[in-house]
């Protein structure tokens, strides 16, 4: 499992990489990380060592949870690719152009 507990984060590329590989993740419930990981992670308070330890134990001892997070992570990672991003940006541009005409 990946334990990723930064206090500050701009995007969370390590999360996307781990999800793409089917690795369960424990993530801080702060910054942009919940938006990136979605339902494919266990969350903890990055300022609370007990919360972090509880999450590590929960993932480490629960094989079903590991499998569930791995599957959800691979699914979630599909949203982070250049084609998808380009389609979303182009859709916004088209909407704005249509508003102007």
Supply the Cα-derived Rg of the chain in whole angstroms. Answer: 16
Residue 6 neighbours by CB distance under 10 Å:
14
Above 90 in pLDDT, residue 88?
A: no
55-74: pLDDT as tens digits: 999 999 999 999 999 999 99
Q: What is the CATH number of the domain that holds 47?
A: 3.40.50.2000
User: Which tokens belong to 81?
Assistant: 């690719």
pLDDT higher than 90, residue 75? yes
Mean pLDDT of the chain: 94
Residue with tokens 């499992």: 1
What does the pLDDT look like over 40-57, one tens digit per residue?
999 999 999 999 999 999
Q: How many domains does the chain have?
A: 1
Residue 16: give the domain boundaries. 2-100
- Rounded to two decimals, what is the model's pTM? 0.80
């Amino acid at each position: 499992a990946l334990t990723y507990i930064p206090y500050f984060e701009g995007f969370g590329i390590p999360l996307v990489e781990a999800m793409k590989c089917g690795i369960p993740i424990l993530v801080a419930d702060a910054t942009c990380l919940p938006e990136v990981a979605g339902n494919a992670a266990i969350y903890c308070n990055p300022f609370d060592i007990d919360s972090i330890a509880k999450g590590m134990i929960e993932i480490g001892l629960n094989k079903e949870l590991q499998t569930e997070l791995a599957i959800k992570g691979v699914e979630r990672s599909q949203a982070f690719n250049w084609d998808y991003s380009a389609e979303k940006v182009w859709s916004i541009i088209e909407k704005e152009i249509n508003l102007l005409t």
